[in-house]
C-alpha cells in the first residue's frame, strides 16, 4: 500500500516548501521570544532540599552508562589522564562485553562530540550500511509480502557493522591515550569474565528461541542447555581475542583482517550478504549536526541517517510558542499538546526521512520555525486529531527493546554522547563463529515494503527503501544542549521509536520544568508516534490526568517503561550525572 501523505492545510505545505527552498540552515535567528531569562532560571535547577531524586555530583569528570562495569571503565580512563573521548571509547568497548544485548562490536551508532579545544560540535555517523548485494525487495516472499523474521533473525538481517570503525575513529581523532590503553578494561572484562546480572539473565531467557538456534551463540551465552542465569560467570575468550586484535592492529583487524574474514565466512555459510569488499569499503562519516534553538538554549543533535535530531528540533519548535512551564509537568494540557506535536512529526518521518547520501531530505524545512508554527496552529487544544485522518496504515504490534546510550563529560569541557546498538536485544542473535561478536539486525530499520511497519511499528516510505551501501533510517538521538557555547546537558536513550520522545521529554524537563537529570529520568514518560493511534504512557500519571486526556480524545495505553536516559548536566563548574532508574544495572560515576 503506498504511503499516503497527511493532508496538510495549504499554508503548512507552503511553509514547508518555502523553507525547503531556502538553503539557510533554519531560521533560528527569527526564533521566538527570547529566552535568556528562561535559560538563566533553568540553569538554577538543582535544589537539594526540594528535589526528591538526586544526581551524582562530581567536579573532574562524569561517566554515565547502562552498566556500572562500563561506567567504571570510563572513570578509570579519565583518572588515567584520558579525556571524555578516551573515556567514551573505553565505555563503548566495555559495553560490548558487559551489556552484550546492546553494547557491541557488530552493530553501529552515532556519537555527538563537543571538542573543548576548538569549540566544534561533530556528529559522527558509524551506522551500519546495507551490503553491496542487498536489494530493495530482499525481505519479500514470493507473494510480495514481508517474510516473517527474515529482516530480524537471519544472516540477511545483518548490516555492515560500523561500531569498530566509529570508536577507533573517535579515538584517533580526539583521544589522547593509546587505543590499547582505552581498550584494556574491555579486554580484562572479556578475559576474566563477570557475573551475569538479573537483568541480563532475564533478557537472555526472553531471547532463548532466537539465540538458541546458533551453536556459536549458545557456546557463549548458554550453559547446560539453557541460557546463563543470574550469578553465572560470563567469560568471553573469543571476544577477548577479537578485542586484542583491534587494540594492536586498529580497525583494520575488523574490516580487512582476521575478524572480517571470519564474519565473511559466517555469512557465506548461511546465505548472508556481507562480503570482504563490503567490510573494506565501510566508512564512518563526520556530519554537521542538526542545530535548533529552544528558549535560548542551543540543541545540537543527530542528523540523518537518524531521524532523531530533526524531529527533536521540530517538536521543540512547535512547543516554543506554548507556555508549558505554566501548564506544568505531567499536566493533561502539556501532554495533550506534546502528543499532538509528536504525531505530526512522526507522520513527516515516515514520508521524508532516509539516508541523505541517497535521498533528498528537506532538513531545513522540517526544522524551520515557520513550518513548526504552521503545524502547531493546526493543533486543537482539547481535541486529539485521529491518526486515521492522517494515515490509514497498520503497524505490527511486536515490541522489543535494546540499544544503549552513554554520556561522558570531562573537566576541560569536552562532552560525548553516544547511542549505539545491535537493534533488538542481541541483534540477529548470531555470533560470527570464532569472533565472539554478535551481529546486528539493523537491516530491519529499512522499510522492507512501503507502508509496512518495522519492529517498532514505524512506517517508512520510499526515502527509506533498501539500496546497496545505504544506511537504514534510525531514531537514535544523542544530544548536546548548549548554553553560552558550553555543554549544559548531554543526553540520549535507547528505545527504538520512543528514543525521540524520551530525549524530547528529558530536554523539556530540564529547560521548562527545571528538573535535575535524576528528577527528569524518574519522571513518567509518554509517547505518540502517530500510528498506532495511541498515547502510550508509563504508569505514574494520575487517574484524573488520564481521564482529562481521554476526554480530549486521546487513546491511552499504559504500557512498559520507555527509554533509559544516561544524562550529564553541567552547572556552575560541577557535573551532575544520572543513570535512568528503569535499568538497575547502570551507574553515573564521577570524581
Active site residues: 403
Per CB under 6 A, does 479 bind ligand DON?
no
CA dihedral over 450, 452, 456, 459, signed as positive or negative: positive
Among 67, 475, 502, 554, binds ligand DON (CB under 6 A): 475
Among 186, 499, 504, 518, binds ligand DON (CB under 6 A): 499
The alpha-helical segments, DSSP class H, found in 250-400 are: 252-255, 258-269, 276-281, 308-319, 324-327, 332-352, 363-366, 369-377, 387-390
Pick the piece of the chain touching ligand DON (CB under 6 A) from 82-90, 229-237, 494-502, 514-522.
494-502
CA angle (199, 409, 195) in 5-degree steps: 25
CA distance 422 to 464: 19
CA distance 20 to 450: 24
Residues 6+ apart with CB under 8 A from 413: 114, 116, 486, 487, 570
Pick the piece of the chain touching ligand DON (CB under 6 A) from 261-269, 334-342, 460-468, 470-478.
470-478
Cβ nearer to ligand DON, comparing 82 with 109 = 109
Cβ nearer to ligand DON, comparing 175 with 478 = 478
Cβ nearer to ligand DON, comparing 371 with 420 = 420
Cβ nearer to ligand DON, comparing 181 with 536 = 536
Taking the complex as a whole, how short is the minimal distance between the CB of residue 475 and ligand DON, in angstroms? 4
Pick the piece of the chain touching ligand DON (CB under 6 A) from 74-82, 384-392, 397-405, 565-573.
397-405
Size of the site for ligand DON (CB under 6 A): 14
Q: Is the peptide bond before 306 cis (omega within 30 degrees of 0)?
A: no
CA distance 418 to 163: 11
Among 355, 445, 509, 580, binds ligand DON (CB under 6 A): 445
Beta 574-579 vs 566-571: how paired, if at all?
antiparallel
Pick the closest to residue 479 from 401, 554, 569, 398 (CA basis).
569
Cβ nearer to ligand DON, comparing 83 with 421 = 421
Cβ nearer to ligand DON, comparing 333 with 423 = 423
CA distance 520 to 492: 12
**414: number of CA atoms within 13 Å, CB side?**
24
Among 104, 314, 317, 423, binds ligand DON (CB under 6 A): 423
DSSP H helix total and E strand total for the chain = 22, 23
Taking the complex as a whole, how short is the minimal distance between the CB of residue 422 and ligand DON, in angstroms? 8
Beta bridge partners, 474, equal 306
CA angle (447, 451, 453) in 5-degree steps: 60
Per CB under 6 A, does 494 bind ligand DON?
yes
Per CB under 6 A, does 157 bind ligand DON?
no
Among 166, 272, 429, 496, binds ligand DON (CB under 6 A): 496
Pick the closest to residue 156 from 448, 433, 356 (CA basis).
448
Taking the complex as a whole, how short is the minimal distance between the CB of residue 282 and ligand DON, in angstroms? 17
Contact set for ligand DON, span 80-109 (CB under 6 A): none
Beta bridge partners, 286, equal 124
Q: How far is CA 234 from the centre of its chain?
A: 26
Burial of 203 (C-beta count, 10 Å sphere; 0-12/13-18/19+): buried
Pick the closest to residue 187 from 124, 126, 105 (CA basis).
105
Pick the piece of the chain touching ligand DON (CB under 6 A) from 55-63, 331-339, 396-404, 510-518.
396-404
Per CB under 6 A, does 125 bind ligand DON?
no
Taking the complex as a whole, how short is the minimal distance between the CB of residue 525 and ligand DON, in angstroms? 13
Pick the piece of the chain touching ligand DON (CB under 6 A) from 73-81, 167-175, 248-256, 472-480.
472-480
Residue 576 main-chain phi, psi, to 5 deg = -115, 115
Cβ nearer to ligand DON, comparing 296 with 309 = 309
Per CB under 6 A, does 402 bind ligand DON?
yes
Taking the complex as a whole, how short is the minimal distance between the CB of residue 216 and ligand DON, in angstroms? 23
Among 115, 197, 474, 569, binds ligand DON (CB under 6 A): 474
Among 421, 447, 502, 579, binds ligand DON (CB under 6 A): 421
Cβ nearer to ligand DON, comparing 516 with 529 = 529
Per CB under 6 A, does 403 bind ligand DON?
yes
Taking the complex as a whole, how short is the minimal distance between the CB of residue 499 and ligand DON, in angstroms? 6
Per CB under 6 A, does 161 bind ligand DON?
no
Per CB under 6 A, does 495 bind ligand DON?
yes
- CA end-to-end distance (rounded Å), the chain: 55
CA distance 155 to 174: 34
Give 443's DSSP letter. Answer: G
The site map against ligand DON for 507-526 (x = CB under 6 A) is: --------------------
Phi-psi region of 450 (alpha: psi -120 to 50; beta: other; left: phi over 0): beta
Cell 532560571, located at residue: 41
Beta 404-410 vs 61-65: how paired, if at all?
antiparallel
Taking the complex as a whole, how short is the minimal distance between the CB of residue 502 and ligand DON, in angstroms? 10
Pick the piece of the chain touching ligand DON (CB under 6 A) from 219-227, 257-265, 268-276, 468-476.
468-476
Phi-psi region of 497 (alpha: psi -120 to 50; beta: other; left: phi over 0): alpha
CA distance 548 to 564: 27
Taking the complex as a whole, how short is the minimal distance between the CB of residue 400 and ligand DON, in angstroms? 7
Pick the piece of the chain touching ligand DON (CB under 6 A) from 249-257, 371-379, 469-477, 538-546.
469-477
Cβ nearer to ligand DON, comparing 526 with 576 = 526
Cβ nearer to ligand DON, comparing 159 with 289 = 159
Residues that bind ligand DON (CB under 6 A): 401-403, 421, 423, 442, 445, 474-476, 494-496, 499
Amino acid at each position: 500500500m503506498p504511503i499516503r501523505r497527511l493532508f496538510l492545510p495549504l499554508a503548512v505545505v507552503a511553509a514547508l516548501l518555502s523553507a525547503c527552498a531556502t538553503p539557510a540552515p533554519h531560521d533560528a535567528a527569527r526564533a521566538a521570544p527570547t529566552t535568556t531569562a528562561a535559560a538563566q532560571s533553568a540553569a538554577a535547577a538543582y535544589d537539594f532540599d526540594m528535589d526528591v531524586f538526586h544526581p551524582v555530583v562530581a567536579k573532574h569528570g562524569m561517566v554515565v552508562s547502562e552498566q556500572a562495569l562500563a561506567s567504571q571503565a570510563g572513570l578509570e580512563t579519565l583518572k588515567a589522564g584520558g579525556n571524555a573521548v578516551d573515556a567514551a571509547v573505553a565505555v563503548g568497548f566495555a559495553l560490548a562485553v558487559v551489556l552484550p544485548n546492546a553494547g557491541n562490536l557488530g552493530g553501529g551508532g552515532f556519537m555527538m562530540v563537543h571538542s573543548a579545544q576548538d569549540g566544534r560540535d561533530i556528529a559522527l555517523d558509524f551506522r551500519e550500511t546495507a551490503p553491496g548485494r542487498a536489494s530493495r525487495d530482499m525481505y519479500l516472499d514470493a507473494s510480495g509480502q514481508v517474510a516473517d523474521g527474515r529482516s530480524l533473525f537471519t544472516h540477511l538481517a545483518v548490516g555492515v557493522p560500523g561500531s569498530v570503525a566509529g570508536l577507533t575513529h573517535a579515538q584517533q581523532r580526539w583521544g589522547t591515550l593509546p587505543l590499547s590503553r582505552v581498550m584494556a578494561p574491555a579486554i580484562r572484562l572479556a578475559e576474566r569474565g563477570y557475573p551475569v546480572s538479573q537483568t541480563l539473565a532475564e533478557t537472555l531467557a526472553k531471547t532463548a528461541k532466537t539465540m538458541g538456534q546458533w551453536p556459536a551463540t549458545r557456546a557463549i551465552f548458554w550453559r547446560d542447555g539453557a541460557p546463563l542465569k543470574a550469578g553465572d560467570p560470563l567469560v568471553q575468550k573469543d571476544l577477548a581475542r577479537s578485542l586484542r586484535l583491534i587494540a594492536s592492529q586498529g580497525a583494520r583487524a575488523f574490516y580487512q583482517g582476521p575478524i572480517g574474514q571470519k564474519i565473511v565466512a559466517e555469512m557465506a555459510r548461511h546465505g548472508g550478504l556481507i562480503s570482504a569488499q563490503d567490510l573494506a569499503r565501510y566508512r564512518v562519516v563526520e556530519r554537521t549536526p542538526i542545530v535548533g534553538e529552544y528558549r535560548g538554549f542551543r540543541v545540537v543533535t543527530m542528523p540523518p541517517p537518524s531521524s532523531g535530531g530533526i524531529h527533536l528540533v521540530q517538536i521543540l519548535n512547535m512547543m516554543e510558542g506554548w507556555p508549558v512551564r505554566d501548564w506544568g509537568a505531567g499536566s493533561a494540557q502539556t501532554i495533550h499538546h506534546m502528543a499532538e506535536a509528536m504525531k505530526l512529526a512522526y507522520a513527516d518521518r515516515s514520508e521524508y526521512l532516509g539516508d541523505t547520501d541517497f535521498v533528498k531530505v528537506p532538513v531545513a524545512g522540517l526544522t524551520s520555525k515557520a513550518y513548526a508554527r504552521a503545524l502547531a496552529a493546526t493543533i486543537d487544544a482539547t481535541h486529539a486529531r485521529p491518526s486515521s485522518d492522517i494515515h490509514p496504515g497498520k503497524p505490527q504490534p511486536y515490541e522489543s527493546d535494546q540499544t544503549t546510550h552513554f554520556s561522558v563529560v570531562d573537566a576541560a569541557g569536552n562532552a560525548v554522547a553516544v547511542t549505539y546498538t545491535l537493534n533488538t536485544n542481541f541483534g540477529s542473535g548470531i555470533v560470527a563463529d570464532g569472533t565472539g561478536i554478535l551481529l546486528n539486525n539493523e537491516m530491519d530499520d529499512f522499510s522492507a515494503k512501503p507502508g509496512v511497519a518495522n519492529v517498532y511499528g514505524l512506517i517508512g516510505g520510499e526515502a527509506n527503501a533498501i539500496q546497496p551501501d545505504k544506511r537504514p533510517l534510525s531514531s537514535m538521538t544523542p544530544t548536546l544542549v548548549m548554553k553560552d557555547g558550553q555543554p549544559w546537558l548531554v543526553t540520549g536513550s535507547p528505545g527504538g521509536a520512543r528514543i525521540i520522545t524520551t530525549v524530547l521529554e528529558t530536554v523539556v524537563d530540564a529547560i521548562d520544568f527545571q528538573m535535575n537529570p535524576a528528577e527528569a529520568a524518574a519522571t513518567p514518560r509518554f509517547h505518540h508516534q502517530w500510528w498506532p493511534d495511541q498515547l502510550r504512557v508509563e504508569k505514574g500519571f494520575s487517574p484524573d490526568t488520564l481521564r482529562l486526556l481521554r476526554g480530549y480524545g486521546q487513546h491511552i495505553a499504559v504500557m512498559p517503561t520507555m527509554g533509559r536516559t544516561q544524562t550529564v548536566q553541567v552547572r556552575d563548574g560541577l557535573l551532575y550525572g544520572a543513570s535512568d532508574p528503569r535499568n538497575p544495572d547502570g551507574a553515573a560515576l564521577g570524581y
